[in-house]
Amino acid sequence: MKLFLDSAIVKDILPRVKSGLISGVTTNPTLIKKSGRDPLDVYRELSHDVSDISMEVVAQDLPQFIDESLKLSDYFGDIATIKVPCTDIGLKTCKYLANRGIRVNVTLVFSSSQAILAALAGATYVSPFVGRMDDNSLNGLGLIADISNIFQKHKVDTQILAASIRDTQSVARAFGLGANICTIPVKVFDGMSQHVLTDKGLDQFDHDYMASVKN
């Protein structure tokens, strides 16, 4: 059970990584755009503190996908997880990279059949998009359960990386249904430690402690 941060804002990521509770970071072109920075600058800055960064490759054809992937992998080494879309070319890229021992995250997964192909292509991670499925009246967490069931029955090594998670409850449910990793926005990570009854209980304990200490 691992948590990744789904963000490209270095100043948000680093303090939370230092908590020791975060095992990796996932980025995508939209998150990079929000950061207002060049993707390579973001990866370089994170690379001192984060041991697993999903770096999405954007390309037009298979040779370009492979070329861009290898450039990232050569430059960043074991820190780089190459992120490719679950398309025909993305899966071929995945197979090529996986055969060379490079970690691949197959992203934009919306069905069990896509997850099966990603696993057969040797993906380290398969990323079903829970929130985007829910946005479209589909059962995002149901897909996590379905993939988990298939992967367990067939002893598949590919890890389920639940993505597009928008709330703390979905994190717990995704893990409960078999996700190996949840990648979450910093807001969701911060929310996971919060509980109104914790705050209330702590106020009471602080108050009672002060009342009982003699000196």
Positions marked active-site: 83
In the complex, least distance from residue 27 CB atom to ligand E4P, rounded to whole angstroms: 7
Note whether 142 and 110 are within 8 A (CB): no
In the complex, least distance from residue 107 CB atom to ligand E4P, rounded to whole angstroms: 5
Of 28, 124, 148, 170, the one binding ligand E4P by CB under 6 A: 28
Q: How far apart are CA 84 and CA 58, in angstroms?
A: 8
Of 7, 107, 168, 170, the one binding ligand E4P by CB under 6 A: 107
143-202 residues in contact with ligand E4P (CB under 6 A) are 163-164, 183
Of 7, 26, 81, 158, the one binding ligand E4P by CB under 6 A: 26
Distances (CA, A) of 147 to 115, 116, 162, 209: 7, 8, 11, 49
**Applying CB under 6 A, which part among 17-25, 63-71, 124-132, 189-197 lies near ligand E4P?**
124-132
Which residue, 122 or 185, is less far from ligand E4P as judged by CB?
185
Q: Is the dihedral of CA 90, 115, 138, 180 positive or negative?
A: negative
Which residue, 139 or 204, is less far from ligand E4P as judged by CB?
139
Q: How far apart are CA 112 and CA 148, in angstroms?
A: 9
Instruction: Give the number of residues in contact with ligand E4P, rule: CB under 6 A.
Output: 11
Give which of 104, 99, 77, 94 is closest to 161, Cα–Cα. Answer: 104
Residue 7 makes contact with ligand E4P by CB under 6 A: no
**Applying CB under 6 A, which part among 61-69, 87-95, 128-136, 167-175 lies near ligand E4P?**
128-136
The torsion angles phi and psi of 82, rounded to 5 degrees, stand at: -85, 125
In the complex, least distance from residue 110 CB atom to ligand E4P, rounded to whole angstroms: 11
Give which of 37, 129, 16, 137 is closest to 83, Cα–Cα. Answer: 129
Q: How long a stretch of residues is the chain?
A: 215
Return the structure tokens found at 194.
């919060």
Residue type, 163: A
Q: Which residues bind ligand E4P (CB under 6 A)?
A: 6, 26, 28, 107, 127, 129, 131-132, 163-164, 183
